[in-house]
Amino acid sequence: MRVPARRAKGDGSRDRPPSREDGAPVPSSSVPVVPVADSAFVRACWSRPVDRVPVWFMRQAGRSLPEYRAARGPGSVLDAIRRPDLAAELTLQPVRRYGVDAAILFGDIVVPVAAVGFGVDVEQGRGPVVDPPFRQIGDLDRLRPLDPAADTPYVLETIRLVTAELDPLGIPLIGFAGAPFTVASYLIEGGPSRLYARTKALMRGDPGLWAALLERLAGMAVASLRAQVEAGAAAVQLFDSWAGALSPSDYERSVLPATRSVLDGLADLGVPRIHFGVGTGELLPLMAGAGVEVLGVDWRVPLDEARRRVGTGVALQGNLDPATCLAPWDVVAAETEDVLRRGGGTGHVFNLGHGVLPETDPDVLARVVDLVHATSPADLCASGKAG
């Protein structure tokens, strides 16, 4: 399960990394390593100076990796998540392959609700399906509080296995959870949705039940994320993937309080909190004020414009359009450099604007990582001021 040295360059070196084919582990004694808390990723999350812009990719595990498909086996992704050896291996695969600055736990946003027996599965190619869906007050009884040690011991074991591997290399692990709105949307719609009509109908038609549902989900997210950090995660990301379906006023009134309670519930842990949603350009100022160190931005809003919208109090994460990675390399390189320039070198975690598309060539992502690492944050800072 060992991660090769390409992934362990903690020195901001611009030298060509070892070739991608060189999968052999290198003794960690030969690798200059900084503690995880001082890694480029964690430093950038806290908007501290860095010697390179850190990079990782949402949905970097799975999908486009042949080694994922080989290791994953048949069945629901939830079955893979319940096997710590396999989940740890799937967490580490993209770190080896791409040389990213952080791993993200192999899990899913529906793991806590599935673990308390709500009746959730994840269909390949479709996403989470819920049967029966959440409809009425009695359904709250199906959402008892999460006890991570008893309900999801496999998640904590996976984190222990992964961090035993990555901590000595100075590579942080990101834990994650789904934000109350996005998880609620799956429970209410019964599966993926385009319009979130039933979700909005419950939100507007029965505000009391809506608030009770979001409060339960917020409690589960806090419990899960706290346990993930206690098991070794160095940062957390709260995915509100589908919050962009809401107007700012609906978001502020009906969603933000529950999201804020999740983020506030993590404040004492001292790890960076990342918050992200798709199509949230109009919500960015509200999300930035929810209690975060890092705000994820999708590809629709350039990072310099996002910075204008949220001010200087948070770091930004993003935001290369995942579809760009399917274009010829010179296009990918130009857009990567554009994102870096707009990010300004500090307080920027490079990422895609949403998850890796399944048809992405893994070599393109590895080249993006190399390009980001080869770019000096100081030069970006200077060009940002000049421009």
48 given a catalytic annotation: no
The one catalytic residue among 6, 7, 108, 307: 108
SS3 labels along the chain: CCCCHHHHCCCCCCCCCCCCCCCCCCCHHHCCCCCHHHCHHHHHHCCCCCCCCCECCCCCCCCCCHHHHHHHCCCCHHHHHCCHHHHHHHHHHHHHHHCCCCEECCCCCCHHHHHCCCCEEEECCCEEEECCCCCCHHHHHHCCCCCHHHHCHHHHHHHHHHHHHHHHHCCCEEEEEECHHHHHHHHHHCCCCCCCHHHHHHHHHCHHHHHHHHHHHHHHHHHHHHHHHHHCCCEEEEECCCHHHCCHHHHHHHCHHHHHHHHHCCHHHCCCEEEECCCCHHHHHHHHCCCCCEEECCCCCCHHHHHHHHCCCCEEEEEECHHHHHCCHHHHHHHHHHHHHHHCCCCEEEEECCCCCCCCCHHHHHHHHHHHHCCCHHHHHHHHHHC
Choice among 186, 226, 240, 321 that is catalytic: 186
Specify the residue, 107 or 272, whose C-beta has the smaller distance to ligand CP3. 107
Q: Which is nearer to ligand CP3, 238 or 380 (CB)?
A: 238
Applying CB under 6 A, which residues contact ligand CP3? 59-63, 72, 77, 104, 106-109, 122, 124-128, 176, 239, 241, 355
Is 22 catalytic? The answer is: no
- Whichever of 39 and 241 has its CB closer to ligand CP3, that residue is 241
Respond yes or no: is residue 264 known to be catalytic.
Answer: no
Q: How far is the CB of 280 from ligand CP3 (least distance, A)?
A: 11
Question: 159 or 380: whose CB is closer to ligand CP3?
Answer: 159
- Least Å distance, CB 20 to ligand CP3, is 19
Choosing from 2, 20, 51, 63, the catalytic residue is: 63
Question: Active site includes 198?
Answer: no
Q: For the CB of residue 66, give the shortest distance to ligand CP3 in the complex, in Å.
A: 13
**Any catalytic annotation for residue 63?**
yes
Q: 128 vs 148, which CB is nearer to ligand CP3? A: 128
- Which among 43, 52, 72, 97 is annotated as catalytic? 72
Catalytic residue among 2, 20, 59, 142: 59
Catalytic residue numbers read 59, 63, 72, 108, 186
